[in-house]
Amino acid sequence: MATPAPAPTTSALTVNVFDGTRQPFPSGKSILYTIVDGRQKVRFRQDVTASSILARNLPFYNDSIGDQYSVIAFANGYKQAGFAPVKLSPMVPATIDLMLIPNEPQFNFADAQWKVIQKKIPFLASGADAPTAKKRYEDLMEDRPEALASLLNLTTAMGQIFLREGTPLDYLKQAIWDKTLAQDRFFAWCDSKLIDEVRDAAIHGQFAAEPAPWLLHPGASESWKQIRFGEANVQLTFHEDEKQKIEGVDCIVVEPDIDYYKDAAAHALLEVLPNKITGGLTSPEIVYVLRWIAGRHAGLPEFNPPYTIV
């Protein structure tokens, strides 16, 4: 009887780095790549002037700890980015895509002009005549670009969540244009059927209920967080006591936002608490990066809000 071949003991990982335009990181710029195994041993750490590397001969432990790798990319003048866990296997080489944006990022809204947005996201035009709708949108772009970036992050992410019928974006009827439209959330009137669609999606494992939502969302009745990704999941919080009929449709208020962290404790300790201490808000730039990386890792269509970061 032939002696069985020894089990493989190494694996390979490709790391690709992109910039805030969702294109490969510019060639010729040095990137420090760091790969750490699940036992916290650094297995690769090198400056490379390329937007992609292939790390070979990474140890394969064949256990649930050692093979859960962490990957980090850093370049001078850019915010560090990383992802964990990246599950390695000797049978199928792994790939992870990361995004680096400048330390002082700027928004490029060239693809988010009103003539495009009013057709792509029609609820933003609702409730006002054409000149007023255009002006309030362009004022938002000029005066509060962080709030517009957040709005575009959220509407793009909502359009990629498939419910029993349509997406959450399809149920939005009219944005609420006041100071609640911020860099971390917005409020809108939505078809009241949306809450039933989200409850159904929760039954099928897409969302989880947030306990006592009124503690962080005053006036809220129910809140549901998407649980598909490790980071940057959409949360839909409903204010059912606020009611209005729009174009013959019974509507309630929905408050979408995106948290950095899926875990409730991490969200409270690493996001909510620091923001309360500093008076800060969730950063749309970080959400943009986290959601893009999470979607790439999950093999979903690219997260592509109609703006870029330069």
Measured N-to-C along each axis, helices 130-143 and 145-158 cross at an angle, to the nearest 10 degrees, of: 110
Q: For the chain, list the domains and their CATH numbers.
A: 10-100 (2.60.40.1140), 107-309 (no CATH)
pLDDT digits (tens, 9 = 90+) for 256-306: 999 887 554 433 433 343 444 444 679 999 999 999 999 999 999 999 999
Q: Name the token pair of 210.
A: 């947030």
Altogether, the residues listed in the chain come to a count of 310
pLDDT 10s digits, 5-31: 455 689 999 999 999 999 999 989 999
Q: Is the pLDDT of residue 75 over 90?
A: yes
pTM over 0.85: yes
Q: Average of pLDDT values for 245-258?
A: 97
CB atoms within 10 A of CB 34: 17
| Cα four-point dihedral sign 278, 279, 285, 286 | positive
* Mean predicted lDDT score pLDDT of the chain: 92
The token duo for 240 is 């059912």
Complete DSSP assignment for the chain:
-PPPPPPP-EEEEEEEEEETTSSBPPTT--EEEEEE-TTS-EEEEEEESSSEEEEEEEE---STTTTEEEEEEE-TTB--EEEEEEE--SSS-EEEEEEE-BSS--EE-TT--HHHHHHHSGGGTTTS-HHHHHHHHHHHHHH-HHHHHHHHHHHHHHTT---SSS-GGGGEEEE--STT--SSB--EEEETHHHHHHHHHHHTTSEEEPSSGGGTSTT-SEEEEE-SSSEEEEEEEEEEEEEEEETTEEEEEEEEEEEEESSHHHHIIIIIHHHHHHT----HHHHHHHHHHHHHHHTPSP---S-EE-
HSE-CB of 301 using CA atoms within 13 angstroms? 8
Q: Categorize the per-residue pLDDT at 65 as very low, low, confident or very high, splitting at 50, 70 and 90.
A: very high
Q: What is the pLDDT of residue 281?
A: 78
- Render pLDDT for 147-177 as a digit per residue (tens, 0 to 9): 999 999 999 999 999 999 999 999 999 999 9
What are the φ and ψ backbone dihedral angles of 107, each rounded to 5 degrees? -90, 135
If you average pLDDT over residues 34-52, what whole number do you get? 97
pLDDT tops 90 at residue 114 = yes
Amino acid at 31: I
Confidence of residue 105 (pLDDT cuts 50, 70, 90): very high
Give the separation between CA 67 and CA 56, rounded to whole angstroms.
14
Residue 8: its pLDDT value, please?
67
DSSP string, 277-296: HHT----HHHHHHHHHHHHH
For 44, 82, 85, the CA distances from 32, given in Å and listed in that order, are 10, 12, 19
173-204 pLDDT tens trace: 999 999 999 999 999 999 999 999 999 999 99
Which pLDDT score is estimated for 3? 57
Strand partners, 116: none
Higher pLDDT, 237 or 5: 237
The predicted pLDDT at position 273 comes to 38
Please check the confidence at residue 83 and state whether its pLDDT lies above 70.
yes
